[in-house]
Amino acid sequence: MNILDIIDNIKIKTIYGKLPNSVNSISQDSRKIGKGDVFVAIKGYTVDGHNFIEKVIEQGAALVIASRYENYNVENCAVIVVREHEIEKIASMIAKKINEGADIHTVAVTGTNGKTSISTLVHNMLRNLGESSAYIGTNGFGKNDDEPIYFGNTTPDVVTLHNQIGELRRENIKNLAFEASSHAMALGRIYNVDIDVAIFTNLTHEHLDFHGDMQTYAYDKSLLFSTLGNNLSEAKFGVLNKDDSYYKIISKCLYQQEINYSIKDETADFYAYNIKQYKEDKIYKTSFTLKSPEGTFECITNYIGDFMVSNVLAALSAVWVKGYSVEQLVNILPKLGALYGRMEILGDDLPIDIISDFAHTPDGYEKLLEATREIRKGKRTLLVTGMGGGRDISKGPLIGEIISEADYVVITTDSPRDEDVEVLMGSIEKGMTHKNYEKVWFRTDAVKRIIELSEPGDVVILASKGREDYEILQGGKKVWHSDPIVAVEEAKKKFNIK
């Protein structure tokens, strides 16, 4: 099937101008359009692609896909008008055709928490097994052992995603692990992406400003599993967290084979128990016993927290279905290094423990504090965190209540954008159950303040940002900031360490 066949199969459409016999590339970004390219005019929340149609025609576009038509010059460019709610779907068909090629084994991860950790673990496991692999998600787009290139969204727009998959095909990369956010499913960003393994982590309070309620949120998450189809002759799998309260709902949406994992239910396919944390050569580790379809194994990881054990089980299950033995996978676990910004322990030469984590939901904070309890035993805990602008601030009071477990808290912001910083910080302050806290609105100053307050033996937790290296201020102004870099530099100054 060529592009003209795809267009012919679109039954509800209006065509202006003469359709091209062939096209080059496709993009939703008008700046990337050149001669012979396809431009997709998406009406977004802040930018309307239709405003750039005349520009891309001047740049030599051969085809424009839009949801409305004005009096454009279609002498050398065709414009196809389709229904607005179908534009991503149709764009994905064309993008997939343009980027067709060899199959890529694709693992998609969805859930409120754990997407980045699990997709990175899958990618790292495959690299340790000698396979070529790529990662797409919160940390960016990374191929094999290259540093990921940051692009903005957890899951890119549907055209960019297909273009990235095409890039992997051209470079002969055989595997992809990517984060499939609920926004991505709701907005059609994974249309026509062939997925081999879909992983469900958990579902907790988050993004209700977008989804409206937990039922809609769960439905949008479940859409990932419908992409696996119902052709049971294909080797496709759903990897599900049996410990989550939404497990049964997601399981009912899955028509393909299910592999489940648990740290609570011994009937799960992959069950971890006897979980223990310990410190060895200044490195925190976790050991556990694994019951699997191939027997029982003793495991060691370089991560802390029960939830990280759960994440490891998810990744291990997803790689196992490729045909590796459980023993092979267990043997590479100790070789897997730290996950940037996910329960990352910084500065092993410092007299304080600094932990950086991306926790930004009530469930994420609970798991963060639970995971660090063994480390924090008998020590003072200092925590800095912030609320982001343009986000669901209804979770703020619950976050405040949870982080009150820390001995001292500095409340700040996390890319406040155009919102009132006092309102953002106040949402967390409302839930605080003690008075041992202060508010410092600029994040860099807040991190410096928490280090200033620290003493040898303390545990300092940097929450909500992870390795993100910028803050977005009023008017969309982006300024550099890195929790880990600022914290470690300040700590070295404070404790005179070179």
* 449 assigned binding-site residue: no
* 231 assigned binding-site residue: no
* 431 assigned binding-site residue: no
Model confidence pLDDT, tens digit, residues 222-256: 778 887 876 666 789 999 999 998 899 889 888 89
288 near 273, Cβ under 8 Å? yes
273 near 266, Cβ under 8 Å? yes
What pLDDT is stored for residue 440 in this prediction? 97
46-50 long-range contacts, CB within 8 A, separation 24+: none
* 286 assigned binding-site residue: no
In the chain, the percentage of residues whose pLDDT exceeds 70 is: 94
Q: Helix, strand or coil for residue 401?
A: helix
Q: For the domain 344-494, what is the CATH superfamily, name and number?
A: Mur ligase, C-terminal domain (3.90.190.20)
Q: Helix, strand or coil for residue 345?
A: strand
Residue-wise over 357-373: b if at least 16 C-beta within 10 A, else e?
bbbbbbbbbbbbbebbe
CATH of 3-98, one of 3.90.1280.10, 3.40.1390.10, 3.30.450.20, 3.90.1150.180: 3.40.1390.10
Residue-wise over 294-311: b if at least 16 C-beta within 10 A, else e?
eeebebebbbbbbbbbbb
* 170 assigned binding-site residue: no
476 near 417, Cβ under 8 Å? yes
CATH 3.90.190.20 in the chain is located at 344-494
* 153 assigned binding-site residue: yes
Ranges of residues in the chain whose predicted pLDDT is under 50? 207-211
* 181 assigned binding-site residue: yes
* 111 assigned binding-site residue: yes
Q: Helix, strand or coil for residue 337?
A: coil
CATH 3.40.1190.10 in the chain is located at 105-335
What pLDDT is stored for residue 229 in this prediction? 74
Model confidence pLDDT, tens digit, residues 419-447: 999 999 999 999 999 999 999 999 999 99
* 127 assigned binding-site residue: no
User: Angle 401-356-407 (CA atoms, 0-180°, nearest 5)?
Assistant: 40
* 204 assigned binding-site residue: no
What pLDDT is stored for residue 312 in this prediction? 98
* 34 assigned binding-site residue: no
Q: Determine the length of the chain.
A: 498
* 189 assigned binding-site residue: yes
Tell me whether residue 215 is exposed, middle or buried, using C-beta atoms within 10 angstroms of its C-beta: 0 to 12, 13 to 18, 19 or more: exposed
Give the sheet arrangement for strand 283-292, strand by strand.
Answer: 140-143, 134-137, 175-179, 105-110, 197-200, 237-241, 257-262, 270-280, 283-292, 295-301
Q: Helix, strand or coil for residue 291?
A: strand
Tell me whether residue 190 is exposed, middle or buried, using C-beta atoms within 10 angstroms of its C-beta: 0 to 12, 13 to 18, 19 or more: buried
Residue of 89, 99, 6 lying closest to 40 (CA atoms):
89
* 160 assigned binding-site residue: no
Q: What is the mean pLDDT of the chain?
A: 91
CATH 3.40.1390.10 in the chain is located at 3-98
Q: Which fold has domain 105-335?
A: UDP-N-acetylmuramoyl-L-alanine:D-glutamate ligase (3.40.1190)
